[in-house]
Amino acid sequence: MIGMYNRYISDYPNQVHQLNFSILQNYHILKNGDIKYQAKKFDVNWKNYEKTGKRHIVNFLIRDHFSGCFYAEIFPIDEVPTIVDFLYNAWREKTNFEFCGIPKTLILGRHVVERFPMIYNLEPNAGVNIELATNGFATGIRSLKDWENNIAYYSYYENYKNISGFQANVEIICRDLNLRNSGKSEPNLLKWVNNQPKGKLVNDQAEFERLFESQK
């Protein structure tokens, strides 16, 4: 609803997306590339991660506020791609997951725009309202906890235990998670699909990348 985004109200799928960019606190990567879970959380942040002696995992997650449907990817902290690459994967049409479309409003943390300032170019180039989050819940923390808890489950399987194999199958993993019955009226993905999602589609990667360029 126009003028009410500070209260995070949405009326349809792809009206408001929430973006999370964070370091996973219970996981790191072994020398062979396998994902390792530990019950005790790391005391790790963007300032001290190089001092821990571990190869940490970085998470990108985008959540549709209306439906709760989300798409996420994980990367070694020393191989973090640009935000453009992640958002292209999140918003394009996908083979194994219906979720797609550029939202009207994107809520994200200040640390995201400080690291990826080109994201502000979505405002003039794609008509996306960029809004800074006022708290952790605004960046999709509910879905982040679900995502983090299930990484251990999926990485138990042989094809998913290595971070490269896990990342290669994130569409399948995200679809499975968003189709689960969590006690709501309907699963996240069905709520997204069944409520006429709007949002511009840009499937050509070069065209999508131009949305992040400064127009002089």
Kindly tell me if the per-residue pLDDT of 109 is higher than 60: yes
201 within some domain: yes
Name the residue with tokens 């992040």: 212
Kindly tell me if the per-residue pLDDT of 169 is higher than 80: yes
Q: How far is CA 77 from the centre of its chain?
A: 15
Compute the average pLDDT of residues 97-106.
97
Kindly tell me if the per-residue pLDDT of 140 is higher than 70: no
190 within some domain: yes
2 within some domain: no
**Which is nearest to 130 in space by CA: 159, 156, 152, 110?**
110
Token digits of residue 110: 């200040």
Domain that holds residue 40: 10-210
Q: How far apart are CA 123 and CA 89, in angstroms?
A: 19
1 within some domain: no
Kindly tell me if the per-residue pLDDT of 2 is higher than 80: no
Kindly tell me if the per-residue pLDDT of 1 is higher than 90: no
φ/ψ region of 203 (left if φ > 0, alpha if ψ in -120 to 50, else beta) reads alpha
175 within some domain: yes
Give the count of domains, the chain. Answer: 1
- Condensed to tens digits (0 to 9), the pLDDT of residues 172-190 reads 999 999 998 866 678 999 9
112 within some domain: yes
The total of other beta-carbon atoms located within 10 Å of residue 45's CB is: 10
70 within some domain: yes
pLDDT score, position 216: 67
CATH number, domain with residue 202 = 3.30.420.10
216 within some domain: no
Name the residue with tokens 């569409």: 171
Say what angle helices 170-178 and 141-154 make with each other, to 10 degrees: 120
Name the residue with tokens 């209306």: 66
Give percent above pLDDT 70 in the chain: 91
Listed in sequence order, the residues at least 6 apart from 141 whose beta carbon sits closer than 8 Å to its beta carbon are 20
Q: How far apart are CA 106 and CA 118, in angstroms?
A: 14
Using H for helix, E for strand and C for coil, what is the string for 80-110?
A: CCCHHHHHHHHHCCCCCCCCCCECCEEEECH
Kindly tell me if the per-residue pLDDT of 135 is higher than 60: no
- Condensed to tens digits (0 to 9), the pLDDT of residues 29-38 reads 999 999 999 9
Distances in Å between the Cα of 129 and the Cα atoms of 15, 32, 51, 147 are 10, 41, 37, 26
